[in-house]
Amino acid sequence: MALIKPSAHRAFFDDVKQGRVRAALVYGGDVGGVTELARRIIHLATGGSDDPLSLTVLDEEILREDPARLADEAQSVSMFGGRCAIRVRAAGEAFARAMRNVLAAPPGGNMIIAEAGALKASSALRKMFEKEKGLAALPVYEDSARDIGQIVRETLRKDGLDIAPDALEALVSMLGADRAASRGELEKLALYCLGRQRVSLEDVQAICGDVSAHAMNDMIDAFFTGDARRGAALFSALLDSGTVPAGILASASHHVGALKALAVRVAAGDAPQQVVRSARPPVFFKRHPAMIRQLNLWPLPALERADASLYEATEQSRLKPDLAAQIAERCLLSLGLRAARAARR
């Protein structure tokens, strides 16, 4: 079909609604932006259906073991009628091979939506989706400072918050280009400013400052490398210093988003050491060993499950604010135990 740039999204979305697109590949270094766009396409492809049977989720491991599964799902007919969507996470070589089976078969009624990391122009997968009829490639470009500023204002406005100009400037300089990670940091800031009307520079420095970030990173690295005992001690120290449990959970979610972006590259065949050294935004050099270890312990499916656990803990902590600290600690301890078990294997 074509390479679909953001300026052509509106026409493309209409093609999706009309069933004129067999498969779409959404790719880019911004994992959060890729996920957001893929979810929107899924929503359009299924007509906004909330029926869990209207969506099938596959990944590289499943397609490596059963390459014909993708074509079967594309041709399947829902028992309740309507169009279904097939979401493929961390699409790579196995997905590319499975797509050849799809292209060899007549067009089915269902749509395939695949998510991938940053792809070079020479990528065979990208070329396939740019050239084959009925397929579309949609790059997700990293947000500029202006884009991030707009995201900050829109996200805080949902919580009834305005932000001072100097606070906005400081916050934009701290946030990275990963949209999901930025939203996690903003959620933490909004919670900190709950009940106020405006976010000040002092608020940004208090909740997003470098000192607290280093302590938070040490705690998160401890849990995600399997050192739950050290993680628990650092968790208590952060609480004692005034860090709110929701802020800790938001930081952990931010971390998982960053890890997922790196894990996509590892799943595509890059070595963890190379991925960490070339990460954008750069990983602080003292964290390189911990991040490399985490990429070895946490493949992409495990990170998806960790993300779901953190989301559930965040929801529970909001429903039961008196138990927020216990809920957050239990969730992080669970993740630490998962990492420890993975290390033993």
SS3 annotation, the chain: CEECCHHHHHHHHHHHHCCCCCEEEEECCCHHHHHHHHHHHHHHHCCCCCCHHHEEEEEHHHHHHCCCHHHHHHHCCCCCCCCCEEEEECCCHHHHHHHHHHHHCCCCCCEEEEEECCCCCCCHHHHHHHHCCCEEEEECCCCCHHHHHHHHHHHHHHCCCEECHHHHHHHHHHCCCCHHHHHHHHHHHHHHCCCCCEECHHHHHHHHCHHHHHHHHHHHHHHHCCCHHHHHHHHHHHHHCCCCHHHHHHHHHHHHHHHHHHHHHHHCCCCHHHHHHCCCCCCCHHHHHHHHHHHHHCCHHHHHHHHHHHHHHHHHHHHCHHHHHHHHHHHHHHHHHHHHHHHHC
Please name the CATH architecture into which domain 144-208 falls.
Answer: Orthogonal Bundle (1.10)
Q: How confident is the model at residue 211 (pLDDT cuts 50, 70, 90)?
A: very low
Pick the CATH number of 209-345 from 3.40.640.10, 1.20.272.10, 3.60.15.10, 3.20.20.70: 1.20.272.10
Residue 104 has pLDDT above 90, yes or no: yes
- Domain boundaries defined on the chain: 2-139, 144-208, 209-345
Query: For 215-230, what is each residue's pLDDT tens digit?
Result: 788 899 999 999 999 9
Establish whether domains 144-208 and 209-345 are of one fold.
Answer: no
Q: Does domain 2-139 have CATH number 3.30.360.10?
A: no
Task: Give pTM, 2 decimals.
Answer: 0.50
Residue 322 pLDDT greater than 80, yes or no: yes
More confidently predicted of 79 and 105:
105
